[in-house]
Chain A
Amino acid sequence: MQDRPTSIELLETIAWFLETEVLDELEGSKRHQTRVAINLCHILMREFDLAQSGDIQESERLGNLLDISSEEGSEHLNQILCDRLRQSCDVDFEKRALVTLLENVKSKLAIVKPGHDDYNFKSELDR
């Protein structure tokens, strides 16, 4: 077991350092790139908290959709889903897949862009 700071505390420290000590020294594209680096630190901090449970739930949802054991792992199950979607044109299956994929994408967004799924496109879908 490593001594503190923990991984997540170190990430928070890197983000804090970039934000308070570095950002004001920079301008133009370097400043933009540093903002991106800070955002990546925040993404990783959320990933430490959420990724493990998110991956398990993703596998379970994919396993249910495909009627395959979720122990196969999400990467493998996503590949199987891609193959099935490519090979057949089953609209009912696609509608069920859409619901599953939306849940999985929302899990990813909780880490990479919280709030992106607040917008529901309702006003523009029917036009």
Chain B
Amino acid sequence: MKDLSVGLSKFLSEIWETDVSIRNLDRASAGARRHNLLFNAVTEIDDIPLVATIMPTPDIEDLPMDVEASVLEFARQAGVPAPRLVGVTTNPKYVGGSMFVTHRVFGESIPRKILRLSESQTGLGDRIVRQCGEALAHLHKFPISRIDSRIERPKLDDPAQQAVDDLLEDHSLLPQPSPTITMALSWLSRNKPESPEALSLVHGDLRNGNIAVDDTGLVAIYDWEIAHLGDPMEDLAWLCVRAWRFRQDDKEVGGLADRDTLFEGYHSAGGNIDPIRFRWWRLLRTVWWGIGLAKQAAEHLDGSFRSIIMAASGRRVAELEYDILMLLSGEYSTVEF
């Protein structure tokens, strides 16, 4: 940690062109592959709480750190409460890998604690979800001409086809293919919706787990590492996937509120819902997470990323298979159990 402190001090001193010392450096628990460090940067006149997000190994980066940093700035310009950027570097000389530094946001970010907070205050869950809807509408309607050209864009500007192609490839590489996922991918491929009128920047991982809230509502949206150009319905659908409800299944949006509340927030900020595309992306992202969990287990088993959490993920695939089959049963409407 001492070396990291020296590296952070050097980096901030260079970009702020003043002497910076580091105090209260602490490793946050968030993030399996990237490290989040909490610290205060002290100058002659200031003492500023910051967060450094460090990617030690570039080959597991989804977005290069400097592109992700530009996404943060894009989101803030769009009116989304993303963390405020202080600086970014891809030079490993400071902390041994790429890094960006943001201002620290004070709020609760652990999903079960967010649920407890929302239960303790009438209307808070609805407010958080409505604000998520508003934030997504702002993000999705912001012109993508301003985005970094290195951000991932779907082939032929067809996000649904790209998503199916990616999942077919990922599923084919798994050591143990799932008939449930095979059937779902076949259905998704045959029932692919029209592309949206225009591509948007899609956060890609907005859920209860990547937000910070306090008793006033939503204060930040984190983890922009898989942001990409795509269909805005993907973000709304992912937020409603059952895996993020933490047993509060009757509240579709992260266990916090119902879907209508999310859609009201989205509409109120100028977003348009397409129910057919929403349903399609809800199934696709449920499949995506099922494959994601199976991939985590495979990475543990082949030794490329040993972790008890990743091993346990393999035994969570059945949860997603159940959710997929139930969603599919709604599409094959004559199926009875």
Using a CB–CB cutoff of 8 Å, the interface residues on chain A facing chain B are 28-29, 32-33, 36-37, 39-40, 43, 75, 78-79, 81-82, 85-86, 89, 91, 94-95, 97-99, 101-102, 105-106, 108-109, 112-113, 116-117, 119-121, 123-127
Contacts and interface: CB of A to CB of B under 8 A. Distances in A.
B315 A105 contact: no
Contact of B315 (A43, A102, A121): A43
A98 B329 contact: yes
A114 to B, nearest CB: 11
B316 A95 contact: no
Nearest to A101: B180
B63 interface: no
Interface residues of B, number: 40
B303 interface: no
B328 interface: yes
Nearest to A27: B29
A106 B321 CA distance: 10
B1 interface: no
A125 B330 CA distance: 5
Contacts of B29: 28-29, 32
Which interface residue of A94, A101, A113, A123 has the most chain B CB atoms within 10 A? A101
B319 A40 contact: no
Contacts of A91: 332
Nearest to B31: A29
A112 B323 CA distance: 14
B327 interface: yes
A76 B86 CA distance: 54
B242 A86 contact: no
Contacts, number: 105
B334 A127 contact: no
B45 interface: no
29 contacts: A33-B309, A39-B312, A40-B308, A75-B176, A82-B182, A86-B182, A91-B332, A95-B332, A98-B325, A98-B328, A99-B335, A99-B337, A101-B179, A102-B325, A105-B180, A105-B321, A108-B318, A108-B321, A112-B316, A113-B319, A116-B319, A116-B322, A119-B249, A124-B240, A125-B326, A125-B327, A125-B330, A127-B259, A127-B279
A120 B336 CA distance: 12
Contacts of B240: 124
Nearest to B331: A125
A81 B182 CA distance: 9
Contact of B183 (A98, A112, A126): A98
B179 A97 contact: yes
A108 B242 CA distance: 18
Which 6 residue pairs across A and B have the least CB separation, nearest first? A125-B330, A108-B318, A121-B326, A81-B179, A119-B249, A28-B29
B68 to A, nearest CB: 22
B186 A33 contact: no
Contacts of A123: 250
B236 to A, nearest CB: 12
A113 B321 contact: no
Contacts of B318: 105, 108-109, 112-113, 116
Contacts of B330: 121, 125-126
B155 interface: no
A85 B183 CA distance: 6
Which interface residue of A36, A39, A75 has the most chain B CB atoms within 10 A? A36
Nearest to B260: A127
A112 B315 contact: yes
Contacts of B311: 40
A50 to B, nearest CB: 13
Given A28-B29, A95-B335, A101-B179, A89 B190 contact: yes
B252 A124 contact: yes
